[in-house]
Amino acid sequence: MLIIYNPAAGRRRAQRLWRVLDVMVHNGVKLELAETLHPGHATELARDAANAGRRLVVAAGGDGTIAEVAQGLAGSNTALGIIPLGTANVLAHELNLPFSPVAVAAALAFGRTRALWPGVAHTESGEQVFVQMIGAGFDAEVVHHVSPRLKRAIGKGAYVLQGMRESVRYDFPKIDISIDGVDTAAGSVIVTKGRYYAGRHTLAADATPMAPGFTVALFDRAGPLSALAYGAALPLNMLNRMPGIRLQRAEEVRINTRRTQADGDAFSGGPTVIRNATSPIQVVMA
């Protein structure tokens, strides 16, 4: 079993990882830890492991790390395991994965899997696999400018602080979007595979990452007051019921903006075309 981990993720996450590893080693599980050295390195490590015929590769981190590993495993028979160590851990909540070290270790050792169907964002600069969502507009600006150091120190609070900053300096331009060939526009857009956003907060109650397709959340209202209202509704699980939000199912989405965020990581490269991956990935479940 290969476990891929970002050593820059912070001391607390490293301690959580070692608690899981201690349980596994104590129970005789043979494992190897590979540390990432730069963005995209997790994809390279996972692809090499899949090409070498490894049965299981584990992403130890948040949604961004999971997406990088998933990109490396795409098209292979290697299963994806998850040790949730991120800030929001949206996919782990989506899949009802365990968080306690003993339960995580047991799930990985048992190896029961289900098919997870990622999305792929196509831009002028390349392709990016995502496992949960793509965002453009206000939330992408927050992700692009949030301090990694502050994020490691206070977790979700870093996004709250950056959101307050962006609410007074972001211009809130309208974004042109095409949903299955039908043109529309919105202040912000989130293309999601699953139900949750920014943690265990409901955005698209009927969505599932286990099947092809997406739910597109269009935020028609823009501006500082709307951004603050949406932010306040999020922890109350009222975001999907707020005025000015449209939810649509889609198989292909085109977003005409150069700056997005994919699974909580900054992503750029020009207008983005979002499609289903050509095949699912087997992911280890509890």
Question: What is the reported pLDDT for 179?
Answer: 98
Q: Has residue 285 been placed in a domain?
A: no
50 and 108 co-located in one domain: yes
263 and 129 co-located in one domain: yes
Q: Has residue 286 been placed in a domain?
A: no
Take residue 164 and report the two structure tokens written for it.
């307050």
Query: To the nearest 10°, the Cα dihedral for 158, 41, 192, 167?
Result: 30
144 and 269 co-located in one domain: yes
Bin 50: left if φ > 0, else alpha if -120 < ψ < 50, else beta.
alpha
- Over residues 243-275, the pLDDT tens digits come to 999 999 999 999 999 899 999 999 988 899 999
Q: Has residue 157 been placed in a domain?
A: yes
Question: Residue 223 is part of a domain; what is its CATH number?
Answer: 2.60.200.40
Residue 54 domain boundaries: 2-117
Question: What is the reported pLDDT for 128?
Answer: 92
Question: What is the reported pLDDT for 125?
Answer: 84
Beta strands 79-84 and 56-61 are: parallel
**C-alpha to C-alpha distance for 10 and 269, rounded to whole angstroms:** 28
36 and 77 co-located in one domain: yes
Q: Has residue 96 been placed in a domain?
A: yes
Cβ 273 vs Cβ 122: under 8 Å: yes
Question: Residue 69 is part of a domain; what is its CATH number?
Answer: 3.40.50.10330
Give me the number of domains the chain comprises: 2
Question: What is the reported pLDDT for 177?
Answer: 98
Distances (CA, A) of 40 to 48, 127, 147, 169, 226: 13, 12, 20, 31, 35
Could you give phi then psi for residue 231, rounded to 5 degrees? -65, -40
Could you give phi then psi for residue 92, rounded to 5 degrees? -60, -40
Residue for token pair 């331009």 = 173
Secondary structure of residue 173 in the 3-state scheme: coil
- ∠ CA 144-146-148, nearest 5°, is 110
Domain boundary among 70, 101, 117: 117
Which helix (H) or strand (E) segment holds residue 218: the answer is: strand 214-219
192 and 226 co-located in one domain: yes
Listing DSSP states for 227-247 in one string gives HHHHHHHGGGT-GGGSTTEEE
126 and 265 co-located in one domain: yes
DSSP 8-state assignment for residue 281: E
Q: Which residues of the chain have pLDDT under 70?
A: none
Beta strands 265-268 and 259-262 are: antiparallel
Cβ 280 vs Cβ 116: under 8 Å: yes
Domain boundary among 117, 150, 185: 117
137 and 265 co-located in one domain: yes
